[in-house]
Structure formats: structure tokens, C-alpha cells
Amino acid sequence: MTHPHTRQEPVTVRVFTQRFSSTPLGARLARHLALHQLHGWGIPRGTRTSDTAAVIIAELAANATTHGRVPGRDFELSLCHAPGVLRIDVSDTRTERRPHLNTPAVDADSGRGLLLVDALADRWEVLDRVPLGKTVRAELLW
């Protein structure tokens, strides 16, 4: 309970959730729509937060469509913007493969996506998704 003379500022939490086809086009569309949504929430394109979110979303969506793809099933992007935090969730329906950090060979053409997420996000984790699948969550704090 708050003291009657204590004024609390309202807290606004904004949420965007959309499913996309598990294709390269779906991954690109997810990044494009997410940046459009962030801009509408007052996080303009070209800012550090927007640019960082764009890389994280691109990597997680690419992973969902490449490694998490189950034929006939979509992946889901969810953004949650609250004071001081932007949470990015990318969910797919594959349960057999849990993402993890590994260092690819120097001459490898792929395998650096989660290393980028790890370097750019303030926090990230892999969560079980109910009823099936997984969610990779990344958070940006400011």
C-alpha cells in the first residue's frame, strides 16, 4: 500500500507479438516490422538501442528459421518495452536443439549469431516454451 501523499508515476508497458513464416523472408519481415514498432514507441531508427535490437532480432530470427524450423510451423517474435528495458523473445517449436555458445572455426561462414547476441545483449537466456519448443530471450537495459 502506498502512502496517501506519495504520488506514483504511471508505468507504461508496450507489447508487440507477431508470428512469421519460418523462412528467410519471414526473418527479414520480423526485423523490419520490429524496427517499425520500436520507432512508433519512440526508439528511432539509427539510435544505439534500435541498431542493437535490429542485430539481435536478425540473428535470433535467422536461428529460428534455420535451426529451429519445423516444417509447417511458424516462429514468433515478441517485444516488450517497459521503463529501462527492451525484451526481445524469439520462439520456435523445435525442442531437440538448444542454442548454446560455441566458437566457430576462424574460416567458418556461420556460427557467430549467438556470440553477437551475447556481446550485444545485457542479458540473454533460453526458456522452455509451453506447450512445446523454446524461446530465446534477450534484454537491452538503459
Here the CATH number for the domain that contains residue 71 is 3.30.565.10
Nearest partner of 35 among 61, 11, 69, judged by Cα: 61
Residue 80 domain flag: yes
Name the residue among 30, 124, 139, 12 with its Cα closest to residue 87: 139
Q: How many CB atoms lie within 10 A of CB 18?
A: 15
Report the pLDDT value the prediction gives residue 7, as an integer from 0 to 100.
79
Nearest CA-CA partner of 91 in 112, 113, 111, 69? 69
Residues spanned by the domain of 69: 14-98+113-141
Residue 8 lies in a domain: no
Q: Is residue 4 part of a domain?
A: no
Could you read off the pLDDT of 35-83 as tens digits, one per residue?
A: 999 999 999 999 999 999 999 999 999 999 988 788 888 999 999 999 9
3-state SS, residue 140: strand
Whether residue 130 is contained in a domain is answered as yes
What confidence score (pLDDT) does residue 8 get? 79
103 found inside a domain: no
Q: Please tell me the total count of domains within the chain.
A: 1
> Is 27 a domain residue?
yes
